[in-house]
Structure 1
């Protein structure tokens, strides 16, 4: 998304009577323009909370007609970005490395030989669910070293 420059804060010589503002205010305005939607929403919420306006139940505080769908979409996007639990999915494997992959799956999941073999042969399938990102990345490296194709979802 391109950043649109702010109008000048200094008085213009053309007689238009521009707004005269301190450099600090100009810097603050530039910083606000570069905020993400989620950061803008949080800023608006905090300012509204400070002044006692902006209750969720009362849309008349800002003249009504507010579009809460955009705010909800921004919050949902933020929730997706802040995920803490991931799934490790086996998408395939090198046929020559099948035994190595089965052994590594057994070590990762503590499954029996038969269950690990069925899991590998049933690819694509989820190996582990709801694990931390760091653990998922570590297991991905281990499985790929054994010849598996893995993705974190």
Structure 2
């Protein structure tokens, strides 16, 4: 019985404190508002009342509405997005013009793609066998279809020496091969 009374007493005191809590927080909020409003300076007034109304309307928008507004303004005013450059260290000092002219040699290509352009009709069976040997997992029928559907890339990303050797072998058989 005593435990019921203490439980009832606790719940009643919680309800009473819950009734007065909003008043306490409201008075705390009013006090904070009075301090912050006296310390803050009033916002500058726009010279044009139309601009003031626009600012008031925009400040009342939700975040999604503001994002839609930005998108619509960009499309209507034809504003393109530009990437902002990241902050970086100071630019290095430019090298003299003479040195730059000497260093601007085009880099020599070292990786090639081997492309079968065409072939001699009499050498077709030899070329089909060579293509079948070059490309793993290719059946004789697939190799024939591959050769008949020229121009096709035989091998990709080959070093220059290997590409030249393979090109010489295929040209001896009667194929026209191009290094790309």
TM normalised by structure 2 equals 0.42
Bigger radius of gyration among the two: 2
